[in-house]
């Protein structure tokens, strides 16, 4: 009975801590606004083999970053074979087409990871009389190692500088006031190294009381 109760207490306390602990949210890498050339390779959907569709595109691709959003522009040299294309955020938009060359653009999301793409490929009959008509899935791997990371805008930098100066002024005023108070009366304040958040202790206390109450109720019934 005691062993089961202790396990129950442990689970409750762990749940409380998890519920109140700040969550960590992964964020995609942010790049500086601009236009960049990036190399890429199209890989098969289920493995790291180079897809046959990789040969349908000219390289490099163009990365356009606008307000933190990544847009990829790719040019196919077999526009009569590739009937449609889409990226992880939706269908690609045609921005230029000349002869058998077509340039499309789509929103790509996080470029530090493989980007899922879909395309409808129709290859005319070959010498054997076979026709290829297939909705193809690939993973585009982009090399963005040379793309500069995003920095604060001039407006944000000015705000940050102004805030820093305000913080310095406030700290100086606080220090001067503190010095004046200490000159009038010498009072030693106790120091503590405990920086734990008070809400955590409150949560643990409430949880412990609840668990103890449940335990006492069960004991009373037995």
Return the SS3 of 159.
Answer: helix
- Give the Å distances, CA to CA, from 106 to 116, 168, 180: 11, 46, 63
Which has more confidence, 27 or 93? 93
Q: Give residue 120's pLDDT band: very low, low, confident or very high (50, 70, 90).
A: very high
**pLDDT for the residue 23:** 41
pLDDT at 22: 46
User: pLDDT: is 37 or 123 the higher one?
Assistant: 37
The per-residue pLDDT of the chain, averaged, comes to 76
Give Cα 192 distance to the centre of its chain.
Answer: 37
Taking only the tens place, the pLDDT of each residue in 146-160 is 999 998 654 554 555
The DSSP 8-state label assigned to residue 146 in this structure reads T
Q: What is the pLDDT of residue 168?
A: 61
87 Cβ neighbours under 8 A, 6+ residues apart: 72, 106, 107, 108, 109, 115, 116, 117
Bridge partners of 43, per DSSP, are 50, 139
Element (H, E) at 44: strand 40-44
Q: How far apart are CA 138 and CA 43, in angstroms?
A: 6
User: Confidence class of residue 113 from pLDDT cuts 50, 70 and 90?
Assistant: very high
Q: What is the pLDDT of residue 214?
A: 59
- pTM score of the predicted model: 0.57
Question: Mean pLDDT highest for which of 161-170, 187-196, 203-212?
Answer: 203-212
- Is the pLDDT higher at 26 or at 222? 222
Is the separation of the CB atoms in 62 and 84 below 8 Å?
no
**pLDDT for 166:** 63
pLDDT at 122 over 70: yes
Q: Is the pLDDT of residue 187 over 50?
A: no
Q: Rounded to a whole number, what is the distance in angstroms from the first to the last CA of the chain?
A: 12
62 vs 214, which has greater pLDDT? 62
Do 102 and 96 contact (CB within 8 A), yes or no? yes
Give the pLDDT confidence of 19-69 residue by residue, as tens digits: 444 443 344 579 999 999 999 999 999 999 999 999 999 999 999 999 999
């Amino acid at each position: 009975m005691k062993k089961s109760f202790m396990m129950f207490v442990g689970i409750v306390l762990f749940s409380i801590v998890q519920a109140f602990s700040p969550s960590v949210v992964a964020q995609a890498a942010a790049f500086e606004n601009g236009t960049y050339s990036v190399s890429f390779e199209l890989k098969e959907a289920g493995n790291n083999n180079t897809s046959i569709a990789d040969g349908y595109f000219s390289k490099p691709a163009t990365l356009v970053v606008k307000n933190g959003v990544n847009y990829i522009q790719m040019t196919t040299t077999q526009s009569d074979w590739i009937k449609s294309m889409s990226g992880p955020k939706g269908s690609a938009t045609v921005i230029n087409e000349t002869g058998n060359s077509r340039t499309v653009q789509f929103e790509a999301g996080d470029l530090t990871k493989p980007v899922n793409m879909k395309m409808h490929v129709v290859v005319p009959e070959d010498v054997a009389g076979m026709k290829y008509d297939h909705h193809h899935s690939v993973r585009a791997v982009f090399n963005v190692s040379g793309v500069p990371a995003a920095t604060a805008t001039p407006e944000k930098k000015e705000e940050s500088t102004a805030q820093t100066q305000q913080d310095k002024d406030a700290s100086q005023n606080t220090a001067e006031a503190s010095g004046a108070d200490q000159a009038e009366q010498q009072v030693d304040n106790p120091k503590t190294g405990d920086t734990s958040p008070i809400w955590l202790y409150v949560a643990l206390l409430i949880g412990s009381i609840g668990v103890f109450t449940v335990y006492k109720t069960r004991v009373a019934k037995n």
